Structure 1
Amino acid sequence: MKLLDFSSMFFTIAFLVYCVAFILYGVAVMGRVWRNRDPEQHMKKWGRLSFLVSTLGLVAHLIYFFTRWAGAGHIPVSNMFEFMSTLSMMIIIAFTVIFIIYRKTLLGLFAVPIAIIIMAYAAVFPQEAQPLIPSLQSWWLQVHVTMAALGESFFAIGFAAGFMYLLRTVDFNSKEKSDRRQQRGVEFTLLSIVVVIGFIASVYAFRVGGYESVFTQEQESKVSRVEYKLPPIVAPYQSKVESFQSFLGMKEPLFEAPSWMVGINAGRKLNTIIWSVLAGLILYALIRLILRKPLGRAIHPLLKGLDADDLDEITYRSIAIGFPIFTLGALIFAMMWAQIAWGRFWGWDPKEVWALITWLFYSVYLHLRLSRGWQGKKSAWLAVLGFMIVMFTLVGVNLVIAGLHSYAGTN
């Protein structure tokens, strides 16, 4: 078996083991809620088992990481599949550290699914190992990207704890205006997560079905070919159909991408966004239909009895740990490498700008937390918003905005 095939096998094993760990964390939490006798002992027992399984998943993930490194000849962060796979591994590492400190089993019920979703998202992209371009052939790549990803992983744990705090403390039965705003905010966050899951599900569904439509577009006397793996609601701007696979009676795109959207793949990317929203809304509606109540209100009872102050503390500590790591990896080491590779410390590349925005946001978070006493819901909402900025920096900038930091394999 080739080393890269061996690596891919352990990636799959890690994903499956994380799924089992998530189920076990669910058993631990649900059992604590429903069990009449000694619920804390039940949660402690199943919590230990859940943590052991998630740790085994991390071991498999580390095996994937290092065998991929050896097989590809470089650290596996050179394209979207590799980077998102590494980020999910870092999230489990961050979770493991925080769990050892605070021993909160319920945190696994929210942190582990983040890693699972990101792994599933990573698998959407091409998984072939690609050689590094000359500017990336440097040990600075290892230091810069891994430290930035580790810092972002602690931000992810802060998001999980902060969101748990909101689910625990928001009054979902209140009709007060301020409480209704909190309820809508929680529900929108859950909807955003469901949209991501809907995107992943739709991509895999059409991939299994072998769907493909192809367009040609002429730009500056050059004819380019654009392949769609999702039914084309949006066609590329001023393009011609080369092949079109009908779906639900749709025999042609509904409209074409606007002229101001630059790039040969602009229409395909807009089409992907539309499909993500549609699939997410359908999935969200189905869940609401089954639960017969908002998702936040359905999850809220699971967190009863959990100490909200502990969640607030975990949120702050996770971000406080991640902030200096992110500062070193995403800013200081990145600028040093930029000076070596491109002869300048700063160039206003979109990824650089959004990394700075992320750093400034978490700087404000820590300032408000330490100097202004922003705790509780204010702190939790900042943690949630901060991680959304992180994900836009990682996903939105890479896939939508062209720049020096755009990853390979994003088409």
Structure 2
Amino acid sequence: MSTQDLLEISKQAFMYSFFLYCIAFIAFAVAVIGKSWRNRDPVRHERKWGRISFFISSVGLLGHLLYFGTRWAGAGRIPVSNMYEFMSFLSMMIMVAFTIVFLIYRKTLLGLFALPIAVIVMAYAAVFPAEVQPLIPSLKSIWLYIHVTLAATGESFFAVGFAAAFMYLLRTVNFDGKDKVDRRQKWWVEFTMFSIIMVIGFIVAVFAFRASGYQAVFTSQQITTDTAGQTTTKEDKVEYNLPPIVAPYNSKVESMQSFAGLDQPLLHAPSWVEGATAGRKLNTIVWSIVGGAIIYLLLRLLVRRPLGKLVSPLLKGLDPDDLDEISYRAIAIGFPIFTLGALVFAMIWAQQAWGRFWGWDPKEVWALISWLYYSAYLHLRLSRGFQGRKASWIAVLGFLVIMFTLVGVNLVIAGLHSYAGTN
């Protein structure tokens, strides 16, 4: 079988697994929400649809594994070297982690929260170029296999821990409460909802403008000064596929399609945002916020209540202690795997590739911050008795730190790991 055939099978398997995950999510929703339908035995209904849902998600996972294997064979290397491949692998490992935790605890409702995370991460992966790209020299190492796969596996268990912790909060927060504590809890739940929707907003915006063929091109001048004081000027062409709310610093429009009366960029990136593509990345962040805000406001207008309050009744039959235990166990499994992959083996690889174990690269710093954060979580949990709501909030915010490490650092901060960023 030719390389092209393998890559085509990989592409199709990716799409099939994505749609199967979406169907499985709907089936999990039927399993949970359908318990309230008339003339239904709730226990029997949930058990039946839970088995159907899990079967569909497992078939989707098999398709995802087929994607991974055929892309590996077609590319001649493990497919984790750019954002498309890494986020695809991460979504696959989230499903692996979900499958393991589900088989242990048999909580059908967990699928209603874990499946959307995997689907969103897959959709986010599809935003990036899917072409097989040659490895840069520093990536041609066995440590690519070890470092990246173990880091993603640890993060996938953090994702399941996040799902269970967020379910705990939705189950226990008093959305009808009027005192200061309840209002603060409700606000943070809504902020978490908005953070998730913001990623969805970005995905929707990218695919909508990609389908319309939108394009804007800027000529950007990059001025650099070397250690001897010599100044050099370099011109780069920067292509946008989202309307330029923020244009590159020190740039001029070469071509730009009009959108909703926007014929010129509204702003230029500040000078401290460095790099030829930095303005485009900043524009991406602005569109994520705008798209997320639009979707969130439309949902609020549609349901006429906070989204957390809308979802909370679905969890009334769950034992909060079980959710708390699932969250803790998932993070406890993921932490040592993340430690080995994101820190220990990463430092060994850094020594081989760059001649130092540590260099304060932004991705390295945020990986350390993530590790310290989850170290604090486990310490507080085991020695200080942090359980329930306190522990759940730490788990939820911890996964937001992980997502910023994976996504925000690539979009915002230039560094040695920028090869994993947008194309």
- 1:46 aligned partner, one-letter code: W
User: Take 1:261 and 1:337, find their aligned partners in 2: how far apart are those partners?
Assistant: 29
Q: 1:198 aligns with which of 189, 196, 201?
A: 201
What is the Cα deviation at residue 36 of structure 1?
4.8
**TM-score of the pair, normalised by structure 1:** 0.98
**Judging changes above 3 Å, is the alpha-carbon distance between structure 1 residues 44 and 407 closer, same or farther for their aligned structure 2 residues?**
farther
Q: Is the 8 A contact 2:410 2:420 kept in 1?
A: no
Q: 2:373 aligns with which of 347, 361, 366?
A: 361
What is the Cα deviation at residue 129 of structure 1?
0.4
Q: Is the 8 A contact 1:25 1:105 kept in 2?
A: yes
User: Cα deviation per residue 1:297-321 (whole Å; 9 max; x = unaligned)?
Assistant: 0001111111110000000000000
- 1:22 aligned partner, one-letter code: F
RMSD: 1.1
Q: Is the 8 A contact 2:81 2:135 kept in 1?
A: yes
Query: Which residue does 1:257 correspond to in 2?
Result: 269
Note if 1:227 corresponds to 2:239: yes
Q: 1:236 aligns with which of 245, 248, 253?
A: 248
Q: 2:307 aligns with which of 295, 300, 310?
A: 295
- 1:186 aligned partner, one-letter code: V
| Consecutive unaligned residues in structure 2, runs of 5 or more | 223-231
Q: 1:122 aligns with which of 117, 125, 131?
A: 125
Query: Which residue does 2:321 correspond to in 1?
Result: 309
Higher mean C-alpha displacement, 68-77 vs 247-256: 247-256
User: Cα deviation per residue 1:55-113 (whole Å; 9 max; x = unaligned)?
Assistant: 00000000000100010011001100000000000000000000000000000000010
Query: Which residue does 1:213 correspond to in 2?
Result: 216
User: Take 1:71 and 1:33, find their aligned partners in 2: how far apart are those partners?
Assistant: 48
Q: 1:73 aligns with which of 62, 68, 76?
A: 76
User: Take 2:221 and 2:418, find their aligned partners in 1: how far apart are those partners?
Assistant: 23
**Number of aligned residues:** 411
Note if 1:110 corresponds to 2:113: yes
Q: What pairs with 1:175-190 in structure 2 (closer than 5 Å)?
A: 175-190=178-193
Q: What secondary structure is seen at the aligned counterpart in 2 of 1:374?
A: coil
User: Cα deviation per residue 1:292-344 (whole Å; 9 max; x = unaligned)?
Assistant: 10100000111111111000000000000000111111111111222222222
User: Cα deviation per residue 1:4-53 (whole Å; 9 max; x = unaligned)?
Assistant: 11111100011000000000000001112335532011001100110000
Q: Is the 8 A contact 1:79 1:409 kept in 2?
A: yes
Q: What secondary structure is seen at the aligned counterpart in 2 of 1:221?
A: strand
Q: What pairs with 1:57-68 in structure 2 (closer than 5 Å)?
A: 57-68=60-71
Query: Which residue does 2:229 correspond to in 1?
Result: none
Query: Which residue does 1:93 correspond to in 2?
Result: 96
Higher mean C-alpha displacement, 155-164 vs 1-10: 1-10
**Judging changes above 3 Å, is the alpha-carbon distance between structure 1 residues 373 and 409 closer, same or farther for their aligned structure 2 residues?**
closer
Q: Is the 8 A contact 1:126 1:409 kept in 2?
A: no
Note if 1:43 corresponds to 2:21: no
Query: Which residue does 1:281 correspond to in 2?
Result: 293
Q: Is the 8 A contact 1:81 1:409 kept in 2?
A: no
User: Cα deviation per residue 1:369-388 (whole Å; 9 max; x = unaligned)?
Assistant: 01010000000000001000
What is the Cα deviation at residue 399 of structure 1?
2.1
User: Take 2:369 and 2:215, find their aligned partners in 1: how far apart are those partners?
Assistant: 38
Query: Which residue does 2:284 correspond to in 1?
Result: 272
Query: Which residue does 1:373 correspond to in 2?
Result: 385
- 1:209 aligned partner, one-letter code: S
Q: What secondary structure is seen at the aligned counterpart in 1 of 2:253?
A: strand
User: Take 1:388 and 1:109, find their aligned partners in 2: how far apart are those partners?
Assistant: 19
Query: Which residue does 1:386 correspond to in 2?
Result: 398
What is the Cα deviation at residue 140 of structure 1?
1.2
User: Cα deviation per residue 1:139-161 (whole Å; 9 max; x = unaligned)?
Assistant: 11111111110000000000000
**TM-score of the pair, normalised by structure 2:** 0.95
User: Cα deviation per residue 1:332-379 (whole Å; 9 max; x = unaligned)?
Assistant: 111122222222221111111111111111010001001010000000
Query: Which residue does 1:27 correspond to in 2?
Result: 30
Q: What secondary structure is seen at the aligned counterpart in 1 of 2:219?
A: strand
Note if 1:164 corresponds to 2:167: yes
What is the Cα deviation at residue 407 of structure 1?
3.1
Q: Is the 8 A contact 2:83 2:125 kept in 1?
A: yes
- 1:156 aligned partner, one-letter code: A
User: Take 1:113 and 1:35, find their aligned partners in 2: how far apart are those partners?
Assistant: 27
User: Take 2:38 and 2:188, find their aligned partners in 1: how far apart are those partners?
Assistant: 31
Q: Is the 8 A contact 2:282 2:411 kept in 1?
A: no
Query: Which residue does 1:5 correspond to in 2?
Result: 8
**Judging changes above 3 Å, is the alpha-carbon distance between structure 1 residues 35 and 156 closer, same or farther for their aligned structure 2 residues?**
farther
Query: Which residue does 1:346 correspond to in 2?
Result: 358
Q: Is the 8 A contact 1:4 1:71 kept in 2?
A: yes
**Judging changes above 3 Å, is the alpha-carbon distance between structure 1 residues 159 and 35 closer, same or farther for their aligned structure 2 residues?**
farther
Note if 1:401 corresponds to 2:401: no
What is the Cα deviation at residue 409 of structure 1?
5.2
- 1:335 aligned partner, one-letter code: M
Higher mean C-alpha displacement, 365-374 vs 401-410: 401-410
| Consecutive unaligned residues in structure 1, runs of 5 or more | none
What is the Cα deviation at residue 405 of structure 1?
1.7
User: Take 1:256 and 1:359, find their aligned partners in 2: how far apart are those partners?
Assistant: 35
User: Cα deviation per residue 1:178-217 (whole Å; 9 max; x = unaligned)?
Assistant: 0110000000000111111011001000000000011101
